[in-house]
Amino acid sequence: MRAAMPNQVITTPEQITLPWLTRVLEAGGALTSGAVSAFDIDTGRGNWSSNAILHMRYSDGAQGQRPPRLFLKMVETDLDDESFGASEVTYYTRDYVDAANAPLVRCYDAAYSQALRRYHLLLDDVSPTHVTAADKPPTLAYGLALAEGLAALHAHWWGAVRLAEAAAPIHDAAFIQRFVAIAEPGVAHIVAAAGDQLEPHWPGLMHNLYARHPAALIARTADANGFTLIHGDVGENNVLVPREGERPIYIIDRQPFDWSLTTWLGVYDLAYAMLIDWDTPTRRALEWPVLRRYHDELRRRGVTGYSWEQLVEDYRLTAAMGVYVATEYCRGGVTSRWWSFGPTMLRRVLTACDDLQCADLW
């Protein structure tokens, strides 16, 4: 068994040792005396990762929080034609360590290796108390909790000054055009394969959006107010909600691809959550109180000069980006997997574009 050393990326559960677990729990304040005496492992897989749940045992007389279960996530960042880097590691270890009430699972250890193109995270395992948001229908209480959680993240890096401190400039025109161009081929594939599932005006709406909407996005970058570090993929499988009740929630899996927008309008995260996964009647009923709570929470956390009117306009602008999300899945053609979720997703985002009159913005 190879011993895991500090700052070494764990690539297999066999590297985990009792001394290492004891050290990381001591360093995190979760073990104040005694030691880890044993652990059992259950292994699994995610979309881009392998993982293990560690069932922990401690020496007699051990003191501290002594978490009973830990979740080890091991990720290879190089995929077939794209990649993602250290973002998920910095999410837990740097970006929000001093953000009050940030909706993050507690992290005990994390490491990233550029040479190996791999990283690991050692987190609290909250599966006994939480499920993904996909497992519960969205309610107003959930929407408000999500608005508050995202505001906690966004307010922390809001605006030009804070983004400069984070060394996270707003994306330039070339990057935005690349982001759009990656998804654009999906439109023709979808219209050819599923045109009968679209409203008559929707193919034209999508073509017009791809032709004119990117310029509106680029123009918006001239004013940094509204921009922040974003998660970028706040889908229902990346939010953990309590099995009972609505709080606390946890937003997980910040894994942007190398072409993803990462410094962007904060309200995009909320638009993504509501438009992609919520059915249209739910979105129509909840979006405005949820957006109002988000705006109020930003102000409570010190964001100034960002009016409600500007937030609404930014929401409409970023809501149209849901079309990019829905069509990107088909950039190489319509797959059998897409039929299980894609038509519903696309109808939701296009209906939202109609409801919000997004095309009036460009």
pLDDT over 90 at 7, yes or no: no
Question: Which of 107, 86, 111, 82 lies closest to 96, judged by CA?
Answer: 107
pLDDT of 3 above 60: no
Give the whole-angstrom CA distance, residue 49 versus residue 118. 10
**pLDDT at 340 (0 to 100):** 95
1 pLDDT above the threshold of 50: no
Question: Quick check: 259 pLDDT over 80?
Answer: yes
Mean pLDDT of the 247-253 span? 97
Span 248-276, mean pLDDT?
97
pLDDT tens string 265-296? 999 999 999 999 999 999 999 999 999 999 99
pLDDT 10s digits, 111-144: 999 999 999 999 999 999 999 999 999 999 999 9
What are the start-end ranges of the H helices in the chain?
18-27, 87-90, 140-156, 159-165, 173-183, 185-194, 202-220, 267-277, 280-300, 308-319, 322-328, 342-355
Lowest mean pLDDT among 6-15, 55-64, 88-97, 336-345: 6-15
Q: Which residue has the tokens 């009036």?
A: 360
Report the pLDDT value the prediction gives residue 53, as an integer from 0 to 100: 96
Output the pTM of the full model: 0.94
Note the pLDDT of residue 166: 95
User: Residues 241, 142: contact at Cβ < 8 Å?
Assistant: yes
Over residues 24-42, the mean pLDDT reads 97
Sorting pLDDT into bands at 50, 70 and 90, what band is 81? confident
Position 79 confidence tier, pLDDT thresholds 50, 70, 90: confident
Per the document, the length of the chain is: 362
pLDDT (average), residues 150-161: 98
pLDDT at residue number 74: 94
Q: Which residue has the higher pLDDT, 289 or 1?
A: 289
Alpha-carbon gap, residue 207 to 316, rounded angstroms: 18
Please check the confidence at residue 218 and state whether its pLDDT lies above 70: yes
Look at residue 336 and tell me whether its pLDDT is greater than 50. yes
Residue 234 corresponds to which tokens in the numbers above?
């706040």
What 8-state DSSP symbol labels residue 91?
I
C-beta separation of 290 from 143 below 8 A: yes
Residue 318 dihedral angles phi and psi, to the nearest 5°:
-80, -25
Cα 271–Cα 156–Cα 267 angle in degrees, nearest 5: 10
What CA–CA distance (Å, rounded) separates 128 from 219? 46
> What is residue 48's predicted lDDT score, i.e. its pLDDT?
67
DSSP tag of 95: I
Average pLDDT in the chain: 95
Side chain identity at residue 171, one-letter code? H
